[in-house]
């Protein structure tokens, strides 16, 4: 099948978005903060997100770079980047599928068996939401400290343990689990990744209420959960390698464009001369630097160079921009932010969620250590 020229693709994509979504190039970048927002009707929101994903699939805008055999279009990365640029200027119900599309799907394509890869087709059709079962109460940024156990049985595996901070677990049909299968091995070598049916007996999902009011995270308990023998994702004992591949997808963020929308929104708040204005200017400069860095990473990606460990710099920069901007807005608006009738809900959300950008996907300290060792070549401490 001949490939659509990219200029034709861009025109078709814009026509589709104009017909089905609201154009708001300077609107609040809701997808960035969806996991923190209080959602009055979570089930209705889930249904809207799933319907939007199905609409994308039906019109040929889902899985642009994914292979044909799972329902994708197998297009070059330039098409996905062009789509990302376009959709960033529209209001879209996409927050539910962030982990599923950006992390789980690529991992299934990289390590899954033929049967496991068929989940990708259901994902693209909007039929399956997945969650990533990594973090634990005693193993967050130190992922190698995972203690949830998967014990071999005659028919497969039995899982016991607890996960926490699991995004959208209450909506997930399947989970991607990292568990310890060989406690006699070193921390990194005794782990295995699994595909888990979240409706399995013995799984208990408990939503966690955040200070923003939202509850998109959950703690998940496994009590003698039985998994079939073919539930392993990748080889037994190779869970660390599988997980690091997944985190590579996560840490190559593309928030520079979305933060540009947020900065433009903030520019309307009326910044007077003084320290607060200087702080806002710092946020603007950092945002533009981040956008330029990501644009360079995108150019390298289009040239066939995959994101390396230096992509983690974008994660650090994203947290810095959000926090600097949140501090400036807090100084500018002051007590107004605490009034429910102020119409400042979006800015209150930014302020309350800013610390999470320094924790999710590995704390800043963990990421800085990785950059020191793998980018700068410094000796391990």
Instruction: Summarize pLDDT for 298-308 with one digit per residue, the tens.
Output: 777 767 676 66
Three-state DSSP state, 204 = strand
Instruction: Summarize pLDDT for 43-85 with one digit per residue, the tens.
Output: 999 999 999 999 999 999 999 999 999 999 999 888 988 898 8
CA–CA gap between residue 34 and residue 48 (Å, rounded) = 13
Given a contact cutoff of 8 angstroms between Cβ atoms, the answer to whether 37 and 85 are in contact is no
pLDDT (0 to 100) of residue 85 = 84
pLDDT (0 to 100) of residue 216 = 82
pLDDT > 60? residue 251: no
pLDDT (0 to 100) of residue 252 = 55
pLDDT (0 to 100) of residue 370 = 78
Question: For 130-239, which CATH superfamily applies?
Answer: Butyryl-CoA Dehydrogenase, subunit A, domain 2 (2.40.110.10)
Q: Provide mean pLDDT across the span 243-272.
A: 81
pLDDT (0 to 100) of residue 231 = 98
Q: Provide mean pLDDT across the span 328-347.
A: 90
pLDDT band at 1 (very low <50, low <70, confident <90, very high): low
pLDDT (0 to 100) of residue 304 = 67
CA–CA gap between residue 26 and residue 10 (Å, rounded) = 20
Q: Provide mean pLDDT across the span 90-104.
A: 89
CA–CA gap between residue 41 and residue 320 (Å, rounded) = 32
* Average pLDDT, rounded, for the chain: 89
CA–CA gap between residue 53 and residue 45 (Å, rounded) = 12
pLDDT (0 to 100) of residue 213 = 77
pLDDT > 80? residue 374: no
CATH match of 6-124 with 1.10.540.10: yes
pLDDT (0 to 100) of residue 21 = 95
Residue 273 or residue 263, greater confidence: 263
CA–CA gap between residue 195 and residue 133 (Å, rounded) = 10
The reply to whether 43 belongs to the active site is: no
pLDDT (0 to 100) of residue 94 = 82
Q: Which residue in the list 87, 89, 219, 250 is annotated as catalytic?
A: 250
pLDDT > 70? residue 253: no
Distances (CA, A) of 316 to 233, 310, 359, 368: 30, 11, 10, 8
Domains 6-124 and 252-374 share a fold: no
pLDDT > 80? residue 361: no
Domains in the chain: boundaries: 6-124, 130-239, 252-374
Q: What is the maximum span of the chain, computed from C-alpha positions, in angstroms?
A: 71
Q: Two tokens at 44?
A: 């209705």
pLDDT > 80? residue 243: yes
Of 248-257, 296-305, 323-332, give the lowest mean pLDDT range: 248-257
pLDDT > 60? residue 14: yes
Half-sphere exposure of 257 (CA within 13 A, CB side): 17
CATH match of 252-374 with 1.25.10.10: no
pLDDT > 60? residue 345: yes
pLDDT (0 to 100) of residue 50 = 97
Of 19-23, 241-245, 286-290, give the lowest mean pLDDT range: 241-245
Residue 243 or residue 226, greater confidence: 226
């Amino acid at each position: 099948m001949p490939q659509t020229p990219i200029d034709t693709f861009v025109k078709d994509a814009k026509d589709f978005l104009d017909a089905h979504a609201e154009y708001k190039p300077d609107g609040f970048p809701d997808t960035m903060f969806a996991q923190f927002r209080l959602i009055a009707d979570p089930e209705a929101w889930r249904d809207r997100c799933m319907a939007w994903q199905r609409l994308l699939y039906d019109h040929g805008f889902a899985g642009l770079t994914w292979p044909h055999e799972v329902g994708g279009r197998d297009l070059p990365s330039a098409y996905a980047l062009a789509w990302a640029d376009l959709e960033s200027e529209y209001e879209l119900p996409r927050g539910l599928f962030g982990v599923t599309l950006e992390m789980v799907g690529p991992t299934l394509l990289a390590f899954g068996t033929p049967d496991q890869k068929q989940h990708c087709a259901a994902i693209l059709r909007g039929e399956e939401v997945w969650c990533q079962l990594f973090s634990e109460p005693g193993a967050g940024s130190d992922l190698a400290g995972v203690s949830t156990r998967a014990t071999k049985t005659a028919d497969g595996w039995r899982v016991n343990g607890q996960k926490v901070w699991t995004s959208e677990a209450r909506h997930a049909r399947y989970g991607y689990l990292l568990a310890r299968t060989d406690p006699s091995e070193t921390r990194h070598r005794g782990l295995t990744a699994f595909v888990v049916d979240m409706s399995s007996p013995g799984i208990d999902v408990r939503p966690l209420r955040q200070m923003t009011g939202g509850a998109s995270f959950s703690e998940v308990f496994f009590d003698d959960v039985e998994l079939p023998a073919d539930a392993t994702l990748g080889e037994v004992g190779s869970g660390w390698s599988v997980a690091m591949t997944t985190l590579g997808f996560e840490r190559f963020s593309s928030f520079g464009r979305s933060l540009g929308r947020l900065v433009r929104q903030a520019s309307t708040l009326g910044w007077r001369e003084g320290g607060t204005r200087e702080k806002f200017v710092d946020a603007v400069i950092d945002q533009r630097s981040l956008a330029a860095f990501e644009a360079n990473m995108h150019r390298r990606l289009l040239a066939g160079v995959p994101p390396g460990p230096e992509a983690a710099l974008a994660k650090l920069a994203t947290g810095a921009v959000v926090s600097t901007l949140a501090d400036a807005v807090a100084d500018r608006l002051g007590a107004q932010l605490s009034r429910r009738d102020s119409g400042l809900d979006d800015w209150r959300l930014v302020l309350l969620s800013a610390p999470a950008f320094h924790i999710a996907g590995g704390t800043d300290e963990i990421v800085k250590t990785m950059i020191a060792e793998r980018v700068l070549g410094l000796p391990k401490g």
